[in-house]
Structure 1
Amino acid sequence: MNTARTRLYVDAQYTSPYAMSAFVVLKEKSIDFELIALDLGAREHQAKDYAHLSLTQRVPTLVQGDFALSESSAIIEYLEEAFPQAPVFPQDIKQRARARQIQAWLRSDLMPIRQQRSTEVVFCGQKRPPLTADAAPAVSKLFDAASTLLADGREYLFGEWSIADVDLALMLNRLILNGDDVPPALVQYAQRQWQRPSVQAWLNLSR
């Protein structure tokens, strides 16, 4: 497939965790692409030209020729099937299903953490006040699930790196990088994922 016209639309602040996931997958697969930043505050994602590309008028949106696709989960799964080299999901069908389960969970649950620890904590070095009592159940659920998945001290969720590792590390780093108490084993796991070159490429974007 010709990837010369591949474009990825992301937020201008580079703080979207979903844009980051799509960006990392493109880097992992060594796909040549143009990164285009939209100012969401100025509602550039609602402009007519972009709305014509992005069905949901959100970021990220991937464009290849006359094909445009929004929503990060759909983008990642499309790239995995279209460019099977350098897979970003486990090859075992059950592990692959588990990876998608983890991603869907992290995108749809744990709202108190996402509300009280925005990604500006992760990407911009901001600090937020202590978590409220309402966040405690979400934090406990996150720690319990992550500790269960990584119970044997493994470096990655499924023996080898997958995009689910980035998503889980990002959620943990919402707490870690704010200075909240996180089990040491989970801190080490998150720090390991953060050193991956594709992740560093996103972190090093000028903000």
Structure 2
Amino acid sequence: MASSIPKLHTYFRSSSAWRVRIALAWKQIEYEAVPVHLLNGEQKSEEYTRINPLQQVPALLIDGHVITQSLAIMEYLEEKFPQHPILPQDTLQRARVREVSEIIGSGIQPLHNLSVLNKVSDETSKKVEFAAFWIAKAFDALEVLLESTSGKYCVGDEVTMADFCLVPQVAAAERFKVPLEKYVNIRRVNAALKALQPFQKADQFAQSDCPEDLKPKN
């Protein structure tokens, strides 16, 4: 018999898993978080490889099935749990939400994925330089797009799936020391989103697997 509570295989700093945590919090879906420590290689274990052969997070166990890939998971949640929608009704606006989401999910995040950076170099400084270059390049394009699509949030004045992608990506940009001063729209939208309770609940530093020494000091 399938469990009634979804299980999310997650890692506190994974931007892909973070997006899904925001979606679950936004839709007020109760779930069990199952931490997978990426730096310790837990994603490569035989047990986890059976769950996700790609050895990545997130993986959501729901309704007796495993769904991987954050955008696919969020689309599934939107269709199954229509409360607190994350996609607009307007066709063009829905396309814009997916456009922003894909820029981040396909055009930025994979290039600073742990497995990619480990192939780039053994030197931390070179990994950071590589990731920062590609994040900044894509942020240049995203900033222009948000000039026309954003209202209070990424697409208009309602929170959408695009916003779930933006906040973790800005955090990654900060981690890789990307200068953000010129990205006025990105910073404005990010600040508005971080003030919302579901985003705070899903934040990397609010997760049980976040080491205490990484959490901001009050």
Same fold (TM over 0.5): yes
What is the TM-score when the length of structure 1 is the normalising length?
0.76
Kept in 2, the 8 Å contact 1:113–1:139? The answer is no
Q: Find out whether 1:23 has 2:25 as its counterpart.
A: no
- Distance 1:186-1:102 versus aligned 2 partners, 3 A rule: closer
Q: Find out whether 1:75 has 2:59 as its counterpart.
A: no
Q: 2: CA distance between counterparts of 1:8 and 1:77? A: 15
Kept in 1, the 8 Å contact 2:87–2:161? The answer is yes
- Distance 1:45-1:149 versus aligned 2 partners, 3 A rule: same
Structure 2 equivalent of residue 66 of structure 1: 64
Structure 2 equivalent of residue 142 of structure 1: 139
Structure 1 equivalent of residue 117 of structure 2: none
Structure 1 equivalent of residue 121 of structure 2: none
Cα RMSD, aligned residues only? 3.2
Kept in 2, the 8 Å contact 1:69–1:75? The answer is yes
Q: Deviations over 1:66-87 (max 9, x none)?
A: 2111111111111111111111
Q: Deviations over 1:34-81 (max 9, x none)?
A: 011012233322323322222433210000242111111111111111
Within 5 Å, give how 1:111-150 maps onto structure 2.
Answer: 114=112, 139=136, 141-150=138-147
Amino acid at match of 2:179: D
Structure 1 unaligned residues grouped into runs of 5+ = 116-127
- Distance 1:112-1:56 versus aligned 2 partners, 3 A rule: closer
Q: Deviations over 1:101-145 (max 9, x none)?
A: 221121222479848xxxxxxxxxxxx89x869966862552343
Q: 1: CA distance between counterparts of 2:43 and 2:131? A: 32
Within 5 Å, give how 1:94-105 maps onto structure 2.
Answer: 94-105=92-103
Q: 2: CA distance between counterparts of 1:77 and 1:85? A: 13
Structure 2 equivalent of residue 87 of structure 1: 85
Kept in 1, the 8 Å contact 2:104–2:169? The answer is yes
Shift in Å at residue 18 of structure 1? 0.4
Q: 2: CA distance between counterparts of 1:68 and 1:79? A: 13
Q: 2: CA distance between counterparts of 1:195 and 1:176? A: 18
Structure 1 equivalent of residue 179 of structure 2: 180
Structure 2 equivalent of residue 205 of structure 1: 207
- Percent identity over the alignment is 24
Q: After the TM superposition, which of the residue ranges 98-107 and 44-53 deviates more from structure 2? A: 44-53
Kept in 2, the 8 Å contact 1:10–1:36? The answer is yes
Q: 1: CA distance between counterparts of 2:150 and 2:107? A: 25
Structure 2 unaligned residues grouped into runs of 5+ = 114-124, 211-218
Q: After the TM superposition, which of the residue ranges 177-186 and 33-42 deviates more from structure 2? A: 177-186
Paired residue secondary structure (1:150): helix
Kept in 1, the 8 Å contact 2:27–2:84? The answer is yes
- Distance 1:64-1:100 versus aligned 2 partners, 3 A rule: same
